[in-house]
Amino acid sequence: MTKEQFEETLLGLRDPSPFTPRAFHNKQGDSVEFLFSDEDFVAERIDSLVTVYYGQHSGELVGCVIKGCTTRLQDFLKENPGLLIEVSDGGISLAHFFAAKQYKSGDKVHQIAYKKLREQAERYHDMAVLELCEV
């Protein structure tokens, strides 16, 4: 296969519809991914639950992944019982989750990342709900 054929194949696989911010639950991977930009990104793990995505070109926060919703998230909720009042219909607002992580973090850089994630979750609140998995 030539370089041109390879490029055509890859371009043919790309979805031509405009990007829509989204949050989706990967049950097999026990994670929730929240993307609010289609920019290519680099990942940086900031704690045991959250990995943030920064745009390769802009350097801006473009999304994140939350890992371990069955165990680690349940533990996080036990450690932060005030957050339980925000749980409804088996889900928790990502904005509330990120706010709790922001206030609990002792690292200024992580606090800024959590603040930006919270703002994006508030912006897309209809889809930014983290479903709690049964243990």
The answer as to whether 48 is a domain residue is: yes
Q: Per-residue DSSP letters for 4-34?
A: HHHHHHHHHHS--SPP--EEEEETTTTEEEE
Examine residue 2 and state whether it is found in any structural domain, yes or no. no
- What pLDDT is attached to residue 131? 59
Tens-digit pLDDT profile for residues 11-53 = 666 666 788 888 888 888 888 899 999 999 999 999 988 999 9
| Spatial contact of 21 and 127, defined as CB atoms under 8 Å apart | yes
In a domain, 80, yes or no: yes
Residue 123 CA, chain-centre distance (Å), reads 14
**pLDDT digits 0-9 by tens, 71-97:** 777 777 787 777 655 555 556 678 878
The overall pTM is greater than 0.95: no
Asked whether the predicted pLDDT for residue 1 surpasses 80, the reply is no
What gap in Å lies between CA 113 and CA 116, rounded to an integer? 5
Domain annotation covers residue 81: yes
Name the residue range of residue 85's domain: 19-131
**pLDDT number for residue 10:** 60
Residue 11 lies inside a defined structural domain of this protein: no
- What is the predicted pLDDT for the residue at 63? 94
Q: Total structural domains in the chain?
A: 1
Residue 6 in any domain: the answer is: no
